[in-house]
A and B are shown apart, each in its own frame.
Chain A
Amino acid sequence: MITVALAKGALLKESVARFSAAGLDFSAVLDPDNRQLMVPSECGRARALLVRNGDVPVYVAYGQAQLGVVGYDVLREHQMPVAQLVDLNFGGCRMAVAVKESSGYQRAADLPPHCRVASKFTRCARAYFDALELPVELVHLTGSVELGPITGIAEAIVDLVATGRTLKDNGLVAIEDLFQTTARLVGHPLSLRLDRGELGEIIDAMRAATPTPVVTA
């Protein structure tokens, strides 16, 4: 049986729609009364695992799920050995460096060396500041990262920005983008090599149902 890992949260509804276009109906997971974490498809030939965003590449990398849908930001952060198959071109946002509007910083390179930067995505942030050759102290936070500069725990943050409204409402401004991110269809490399066409059909159908992909930085 095909197992698919779906991320709870913002990507779930569209992920279900894309799998539906490929013939796998997991709409039961969208039922507000649903408490099941493993849900069979309508046709019975697949099942969906409802997991946290960051756990999608883990289930796929270990082969417990052959396919999964997750944001490119999560793939960059977790660096798990999964195959990126299709840019599904939804859930678009950007990973950005943001500072207090009043700080006067125009670019990431303006930040003082050894300043503190708060983020949920410390691996992405580390790679970015290493490339800039700017030494910073990274502070790992698991949510409400915007509070970092407000409380003074950090000079800047690295976080996902969709519309920029949360930043604005908290007196912050994005000064530089690390990369653009969208939802990706990922697969377990060994399962894909062993596939006798069943996974390939789903992947092709999802690719066909996807609008023009966005090229990421």
Chain B
Amino acid sequence: MALQPASGARDLNPQQVEHNQLLRERLAAVYRCWGYDEVSPPQVERMDTLKAGGGIDSADIVRLVSDEPLGLRPELTASIARAATTRLAERPRPLRLWSSGTVFESCANDEGGQRIEEKLHSGVELFGASQVNGELELLSLLMTSMQALELQQNHGAQLLVGHAGLMNLILSPFVPEVRHQIKQALVCFDRLQLQALDLPAEQLQRLQTQIDLRGEPSEVLAEERRVFGSQPVLCHLERMFNHLQPIAAQQGIKLQLDPSFQPHFELYDGLVFQLVCQGRAAPVVIARGGRYDRVLKRFGASGHNAAGLGFSFCLDDIRDLPAAEQPCVSDLDRVLVAYGPASSLETALLHQQELHRKGINAMIELDPVESSDHAESLLATRRCSSLAWLAS
């Protein structure tokens, strides 16, 4: 009998659960403050919904053995987008929703078998917000959420921003047959794949310039204007960064515009971003998001309703950042109710009830203890701060 959890599944101890809860509550307070309502999408969905109209590869989804094609959600957006385009379709826009919960991503392990990545996510979705206005609210909310998480300077938070419109500008000179391969090479940072495409030298040179182009947003935008001229997407990005720069600087978050950046899930068709922190040995993506109007159109939305964007934090990854605040369960104000041989468990339970009525956390030492000194010595083991001793 295998007593280990499945590869990639989470099996958290009390401190980890407590820390996740703390992070979740901090974020929830920010979302509520900004007027977002909580929803709780199902963990199990039809595969058609989970694939988000082709945005998510079925290989990324943990499928269930059932009569109809069902799977576990690999992210929260598709389920909430389904709800927004169906039973919440009549709600006035902008529609602001948030949720938190477990997501399950399927990937291949090193031996080629299936590995299930189980993670706790918390994020928001904003429906019916037009270009730039929606992005401005979303990224401002992301910054405020970051502040609430109280990340430290040594986490070196960086916000990587890309845009599908920028990628389209880069790909526009090429015939459709070769665009997908070029995009793959740019996204995967694969210079050799780019060289192997046998493109004219001048075009290859332009693509190599794009693959190396990233950094401070105003500099990257200036370079892209030089290459592509004045384009609406560049104006949108400029307005967005003008607003974000001072906020990010105040919070010590580096902003980076990266024209060749696109995330793993192909949900997004506008702004895309990832928030990256320095982990123990490697950079860790703690949040990701973007605009996904196309997904809503595939779900049947049209006009003003076919506009959606959002982000999601991975709470497990934030919790595991080095030197992140670790709430200690032993710091809890908790009373240990212990009784001597002359008293009884029943008396102790009544005393515990009395303490609970006064709003005091109290736990019982189930077996009698020979002396109050011995009971005192149990406090650290039971992670309690004080003792209620019942001698008789």
**A interface residues, Cβ below 8 angstroms from B:** 58, 62-64, 81, 83-87, 123, 184, 187-194, 200, 213, 215-216
Contacts and interface: CB of A to CB of B under 8 A. Distances in A.
A160 to B, nearest CB: 19
18 contacts: A63-B279, A63-B283, A81-B188, A84-B190, A84-B191, A84-B193, A86-B191, A184-B192, A188-B282, A189-B189, A190-B282, A190-B283, A192-B189, A193-B214, A194-B158, A194-B160, A200-B212, A213-B195
A191 B192 contact: no
A13 B259 CA distance: 37
Classify the secondary structure of A's interface with B. Answer: mixed
A215 B197 CA distance: 11
Contacts of A63: 279, 281-283
B307 interface: no
A58 B283 contact: no
B68 interface: no
Interface residues of B, number: 23
A193 B261 contact: yes
Contacts of A81: 188
Given A63-B283, A64-B282, A200-B212, A190 B192 contact: no
Interface string B195-214: 11000000000000000101
Interface string B222-261: 0000000000000000000000000000000000101001
A194 B112 CA distance: 29
A199 B294 CA distance: 36
Contacts of B258: 193
B190 A83 contact: yes
Contact of B110 (A58, A193, A194): A58
B296 interface: no
Contacts of B160: 193-194
B221 interface: no
A193 B191 CA distance: 14
B181 to A, nearest CB: 14
A187 B189 contact: yes
A194 B192 contact: no
B129 interface: no
Contact of B192 (A58, A87, A193, A200): A87
Nearest to B282: A63
A79 B19 CA distance: 36
A26 to B, nearest CB: 19
A83 B189 contact: yes
B188 A190 contact: no
CB-based closest 7 A-B pairs = A63-B282, A83-B189, A84-B192, A189-B189, A84-B190, A190-B283, A64-B281
Contacts of B279: 63
Given A63-B281, A64-B281, A188-B282, A193 B212 contact: no
Contacts of A62: 282
A191 B283 contact: yes
Contacts of A84: 190-193
Contacts of B191: 83-86
A215 B189 contact: no
A205 to B, nearest CB: 15
B236 to A, nearest CB: 21
B285 interface: yes
A188 B285 CA distance: 14
A184 B261 CA distance: 23
Contacts of B281: 63-64
B282 A189 contact: no
B167 interface: no
B242 to A, nearest CB: 23
B276 interface: yes
Given A81-B188, A187-B189, A194 B276 contact: yes
Nearest to B108: A79
Interface string B263-293: 0000000000000100101110100000000
